[in-house]
Chain A
Amino acid sequence: MSTVSMTVNGRKVSGECEDRTLLVHFLRDNLHLTGTHVGCDTSQCGACVVHLDGKSVKSCTMLAVQASGSEVTTIEGIAKGQDLHAVQTAFKEHHGLQCGYCTPGMIMTITDMINRHGSDLDEETVREELDGNICRCTGYHNIVKAALDAASKMGAGQQQVAAE
């Protein structure tokens, strides 16, 4: 057993867990943040993607102790109160989800993508970088649309801030 301390969605947390506990289980079982999902046992589906120190990672392929001392952001941490994050809004507007199982991972992967590419994000890059996120329902088309729309809106927002 180890004591694990990290900052999750801006809040300092700590808890006891076995060294073999995966980060996703620590988030779901210890912190009751059940938005992060588990969709496979082969590290391929991306339902479990969270941000570790600002970068997308698969929380099913990382031990909670590995993340100790880091900042973790989950799907629960991106909206501001009742105001959805731009990527969440775009998923809603473009019908980017059906059953919703893959959605938290998709959104965390896409926010990371936009953080790196900004409004330059193009369709080819979105499709290439969704390599590690599997969706059984949508056929991806509306997910890609949502990603591009959010990228252009977030990019425009950044320019506005810069111009002010």
Chain B
Amino acid sequence: MYETTYRRPTSIDEAVKLLRESDGEGKLMSGGMTLIPTMKARLAMPSALIDLRHIEDLKGISFENGRLRIGGGTTHAETKASETVRQNAPTFSYLAGLIGDPAVRHMGTVGGAVANHDPAADYPAALLAMGATIHTNTREIAADDFFTGMFETALEENEIVTAVSFEPPQAAGWEKFRNPASRYAMAGVFVAKRADGTVGVGVTGAGNNGVFRWTAAEEALSSSFDASALDGLSISPDDMMGDMHGSAGYRANLVKVVTKRAVNAAKG
């Protein structure tokens, strides 16, 4: 790991100030579950690490005016353990409990996961499917506009993810087909029957440009919320990731299979 300097702000304003002072060379750090492995591999060399774990305003889970709001600094384990999340969005709670392993869940945060936009990260699929909002220190961004490409988001320099929020769906299913070694999704699909009756389908781990919505499946499921509605559909391998674990053609088929399972899970 290259040399760096550690900072521990206790407010969002202080964190932004420290980040500004680092002239684009510093990096925010939440759980460090992505950032530290990257630094250990010398793939990143931030001059300063601005630790967000001690900022109270980034914590907390609430349900108000029909929306569930999860602070950016909330760990996967806290999301999983929250009674408020379990009651209002049990599938989201289930998803949080399947990210990584217990030690990763004790540190990794929703803010870090969405800001990082790993092409196989779990939360982005759910947030897209549910039509969630990403809150930052300066604005609110619809999930549709937030995830712009693999490892890319709409975040500006010096912008901090402060929370995510969404209206709990009427029904939802999360199916994660895991790589047996890394346990990351090779195809992870979140199907949400939204409050207005339309259906959202968010896919992670498979697309060659990060997380995406499978709109043809959404239309089919909005008219008939049943796995059979997907029978005539197919996904083009041209849009899929291909690697040593599975070709693009394999993933294209897998997405359909996994989406069907997610629909069945949503119908309980």
Contacts and interface: CB of A to CB of B under 8 A. Distances in A.
**At the interface, is chain A mostly helix, strand, loop or mixed?**
mixed
A113 B182 CA distance: 21
Interface residues of B, number: 26
Contacts of A112: 102
Contacts of A138: none
A133 interface: yes
Contacts of A131: 100-102, 183
A157 B196 CA distance: 51
Give the bracket for the number of chain A residues in contact with chain B: 20 to 34
Interface in B134-166: none
Contacts of B40: 22, 41, 60
Interface stretch (B103-111, B201-209, B246-254): B103-111
B32 A61 contact: yes
B77 interface: yes
A57 B100 contact: no
A61 B36 contact: yes
A66 B33 CA distance: 13
A20 B51 CA distance: 13
Interface in A130-149: 130-133
Interface in B96-138: 100-104, 106-107
Contacts of A109: 102-103
B73 to A, nearest CB: 14
B1 interface: yes
A133 B183 CA distance: 12
Contacts of A62: 32, 36, 107
A82 interface: no
A2 B51 CA distance: 15
A61 B101 contact: no
Contacts of B53: 66
Nearest to A129: B102
Contacts of A58: 103-104, 107
Interface in A87-134: 109, 112-113, 129-133
B3 A46 contact: no
Given A55-B106, A56-B103, 4 more contacts: A19-B4, A20-B3, A60-B40, A130-B101
